[in-house]
Structure 1
Amino acid sequence: MERSRSQENEDVETCDSENCCDSSTKPLLTEERMRRKLQFFFMNPIEKWQAKKRFPYKFVVQVIKIILVTFQLCFFAYYRYNHVNYTWDNKITFSHLFLKGWDTTREVNAYPPSAGPLAVYKIDDFYSTIDYAYKGYSDLEKAIGPYSYANEDNSKSDMVLCLKHYKQGIIFGFNESYIFNSEIVEQCYNISEPLDSSFNSKRFVQDEHIKINFTALVESSLKFSIKTVNFKAAGRISPPNCFLFNIEINFNNEDHDGQMIVSLDAEPIRLICKGDVWYKTDSEIESVLRSILNYFVMLICITSFVLCSRAVWRAQQLKVITNTFFIKRFEQPLSQKDKMKFLNLWYIMIIINDLLIIIGSAIKEQIEKESFTTDQWNICSLFLGIGNLLVWFGVLRYLGFFRTYNVVILTLQKAAPQVARFLLCALLIYAGFTFSGWLILGPYHFKFRSLATTSECLFSLINGDDMFATFSIMSNKSVLLWWFSRIYLYTFISLYIYIILSLFISVIMDAYDTIKSYYNEGFPKSSLECFIGETNCEDVISGMYRTDSSDSLGGLMKDLCCCKKIYQSYSTLTSNSQSRTSILI
């Protein structure tokens, strides 16, 4: 017979008042409803569509999201490339203008490096490098780039020389003695002079009575700022961007080995342009379209987040109900493995990528509105890039509904525990080789100079990359260590390529063969899967699942009775806007 929701709620309350928790109340009917509820829960979206003819909202949202997020990422990647390339090219230009001894061979990352580090070795070279930077700064109008001084009247802003040195550091090498205080003191001096003057940093230091003790000097930096405008920021109709570059020429003397490394860094800060307003008016359409895309992506991700969070919460409610049923009906709770079946990790991954994309889209919108003065492009790219990565990983969930593709997913799932244990053992051996190579070969081999480069070198050797170069560039300064390097490299390569990698592949293949045999002979079933049973195509399309999903669960809770709170919590998550259609008695 048909009853309304209010009538059913009255029945549940009556059931509580009459203490109908007796397990003998309609056990067969409760078991059938429980089985049908679980069968529907573990169906894939296609089967649920066939079973209840409900529109697959979550699937459609994910399809729309992957399209929009990919479009957004493509546009942002293009803009970010132009921005990073523009700032890097300016850094190269500044190096040519302000660094003495800079040449084009240092602009390309070559392996092995085509030139050594840019450094100064004499006191006069230190002062001449400062003079060269000052002269380049004074002759800024001669540069091809549209550079200006930082002051509003285009007058030269202050150039500051900062010195970091030990509080005391005097060396008497002739009798092997010294005076030393490890406290570091920093002092900054304004070395700006009129543009038409001939600046001499050595004379300036003497005139100002600045004492530079190079034996105690740890680091020195020369700081100044330059403004510029980029007409072609990121596209044909994009408005120009205005930047302030804070330039710092650094002299690193931390090692006190007679070599002072010279480097240049340029930090870009975006400014609000005060130029052609008419041109900016023409670009409003593009700006509006970008904002619409950003807000639409955030809206679709929020929708996806709500739907997936709701599905995860309802699944946990169903897990509690199922566990209560098993305790009452079979006098045993669900196993931990069966409980984990109610936690859909695909939904968890979707929730995470939704959060990442929402945050990344919000930062992207602020960047495009020029609300940030600092460079937030890298942070934004991390959020959007990782979010997009997880979005595309989510496609595997839908490919898993087909047997051919599901073999790959099930193989990875089956092999995961064995692979984790295997990798732990392999990692311990790898760590031993890494630390040993770094310690012994570091001073004599370019690829073993640091712990990071040592690990990268060994990982490359595992994949057969650049083996001959690794052997050949070993220094001959020590015959003993030259022979050790041969034994070390031959042992590592033989162990990992011929033994460990072969064992690793065999672990994967064993899991693959097991999954193939399961497809032929049947997958092992847990107690939960045995209770659910098989669901064939005829049952799915027969219409037996087309009653409201919460209706069967409501009747189930009425029979179990002891879980009224769980039932009420679950029923609030269901579509309470729909009226009950029918209920089996």
Structure 2
Amino acid sequence: MHIKWHCHSIALLKRTVKFFKTSTTREELTVYEKFKFINLWFVLILINDILFVVGSIFKILLEKKHAESSSGNYDICALMLGCGCLFAYIGAIRYIGFFKTFNILTKVLKNAFPDMMRFLLTTILLFWGFLFCGWAVLGPYHIKFRHISTASECLFSLLNGDEMFTTFSATVTENTAVWYFSRFYLYIFTGLFIYAVLNLFVAVILDSYEKFKKNDLEPTSLQTFINECEILDPTRYQRDVRKNLGEAWSFLCESFDCLRKWYTRKSINSRFEFHNSVFDNDNSEETIL
């Protein structure tokens, strides 16, 4: 059912994109507006079901000794079932979001998602610059910068204010230039990311929250088009609903009428057959007598 729904959504998306491209008075749809045609909740539920089914089958094969009982296979099975549980509980947020007092988190994150992605793109480039610089310069002298992975983990803990003194004191070198560079590098990174990047990231989310709270969200071109259609014909939706209900009611009446005629005809035929059988029995008895 989810696959069929997504096929219809993609077909509608193609027609809408074509309409906006051919229209001279409207702007083309953005990537964020195109994603509105795809319900990501259904995608999440589909992935969740696949993980549960595959993980359960794999678990049964391991229990029945039809697959090798190695730690790697058990890890794969646990990974599938664990991710399935995680996605299942995330999907439960969708049903809580139907209540206006409980959908603040999903609404705010949904509205702030484009700005968050643009902000994170710039932040990731800046983070990578500090990462490769620290790995190249401090790698031979600092245990946390020996590898790219450990250097990334160290910088991520620093921007959250964790293990600062340990990181500063773990530089082992007699080179004064490297020692001063490590101090300058760590001070610049922690100051920039803690006081600027994190606060600006929170400000981006708070801006979306304030707009959501005041109901002052800027409508997209797709929402503007839908609002214009409702303004031109505000009763169109009601008329369509009444028309569909009328067609459904007519279909039910016709079906009931056909069923009633069939039942009446069948009852008449059964009575006729019963009378014929009784008449045949009487004739046979008279013949015997």
Deviation of the 1:546 alpha carbon: 7.8
Distance (Å, rounded) in 2 between the aligned partners of 1:438 and 1:379: 32
1:351-500 equivalent positions in 2, closer than 5 A: 351-375=46-70, 376-500=73-197
Structure 2 residue 42 is matched with structure 1 residue 347: yes
2:83 partner letter? I
* Equivalent residues of 1:346, 1:394 under 8 A apart: yes
Deviation of the 1:432 alpha carbon: 1.1
**SS across alignment from 2:252:** coil
**SS across alignment from 1:511:** helix
Q: RMSD between aligned alpha carbons?
A: 3.5
Distance (Å, rounded) in 1 between the aligned partners of 2:213 and 2:218: 10
Distance (Å, rounded) in 1 between the aligned partners of 2:228 and 2:47: 33
**SS across alignment from 2:193:** helix
2:151 partner letter? T
Deviation of the 1:340 alpha carbon: 4.6
Where does residue 252 of structure 2 map in the other structure? 581
CA deviations on 1:292-351 (whole Å, 9 max, x unpaired) are xxxxxxxxxxxxxxx32233345456x37986xx89xx9999974776544222111111
Question: Per residue, is there more helix in 1 or in 2?
Answer: 2
Cα gap change, 1:336 to 1:478, in 2 (>3 Å)? same
Where does residue 527 of structure 1 map in the other structure? 225
Deviation of the 1:529 alpha carbon: 4.4
* Equivalent residues of 2:158, 2:190 under 8 A apart: yes
**More RCO (CA 8 Å, sep 6+):** 1
CA deviations on 1:105-126 (whole Å, 9 max, x unpaired) are xxxxxxxxxxxxxxxxxxxxxx
Cα gap change, 1:513 to 1:475, in 2 (>3 Å)? same
CA deviations on 1:422-456 (whole Å, 9 max, x unpaired) are 11111111111111111111111111111110110
Cα gap change, 1:399 to 1:379, in 2 (>3 Å)? same
Deviation of the 1:480 alpha carbon: 2.1
Distance (Å, rounded) in 2 between the aligned partners of 1:502 and 1:320: 37
**SS across alignment from 2:162:** coil
Distance (Å, rounded) in 2 between the aligned partners of 1:380 and 1:442: 37
Distance (Å, rounded) in 1 between the aligned partners of 2:217 and 2:183: 52
Cα gap change, 1:489 to 1:421, in 2 (>3 Å)? same
Cα gap change, 1:322 to 1:500, in 2 (>3 Å)? closer
Structure 2, unpaired ranges of 5+: 255-289
Distance (Å, rounded) in 1 between the aligned partners of 2:201 and 2:96: 26
2:3 partner letter? S
TM-score (norm 2): 0.70
CA deviations on 1:232-254 (whole Å, 9 max, x unpaired) are xxxxxxxxxxxxxxxxxxxxxxx
* Equivalent residues of 1:435, 1:451 under 8 A apart: yes
* Equivalent residues of 2:62, 2:69 under 8 A apart: no
**SS across alignment from 1:404:** coil
Where does residue 5 of structure 2 map in the other structure? 311
CA deviations on 1:361-392 (whole Å, 9 max, x unpaired) are 11111111111225201111121122221111
2:226 partner letter? L
1:166-205 equivalent positions in 2, closer than 5 A: none
* Equivalent residues of 1:547, 1:582 under 8 A apart: no
Distance (Å, rounded) in 1 between the aligned partners of 2:230 and 2:44: 27
Cα gap change, 1:316 to 1:532, in 2 (>3 Å)? farther
Distance (Å, rounded) in 2 between the aligned partners of 1:466 and 1:320: 49
Distance (Å, rounded) in 2 between the aligned partners of 1:313 and 1:335: 22
Deviation of the 1:532 alpha carbon: 5.1
Distance (Å, rounded) in 1 between the aligned partners of 2:138 and 2:85: 41
Where does residue 206 of structure 2 map in the other structure? 509
Structure 2 residue 242 is matched with structure 1 residue 547: no
2:125 partner letter? L
Query: For this pair of structures, how many residues does the alignment match?
Result: 237
Where does residue 74 of structure 1 map in the other structure? none
* Equivalent residues of 1:444, 1:477 under 8 A apart: no
* Equivalent residues of 2:143, 2:170 under 8 A apart: yes
2:98 partner letter? F
Cα gap change, 1:500 to 1:371, in 2 (>3 Å)? same
Distance (Å, rounded) in 2 between the aligned partners of 1:448 and 1:344: 42
1:509 partner letter? L
* Equivalent residues of 1:474, 1:482 under 8 A apart: yes
Structure 1, unpaired ranges of 5+: 1-306, 553-577
Cα gap change, 1:340 to 1:459, in 2 (>3 Å)? closer
CA deviations on 1:489-528 (whole Å, 9 max, x unpaired) are 111100100111111111111111111221xx68744322
Distance (Å, rounded) in 2 between the aligned partners of 1:352 and 1:346: 10
Question: Percent identity over the alignment?
Answer: 38
1:141-290 equivalent positions in 2, closer than 5 A: none
2:156 partner letter? F
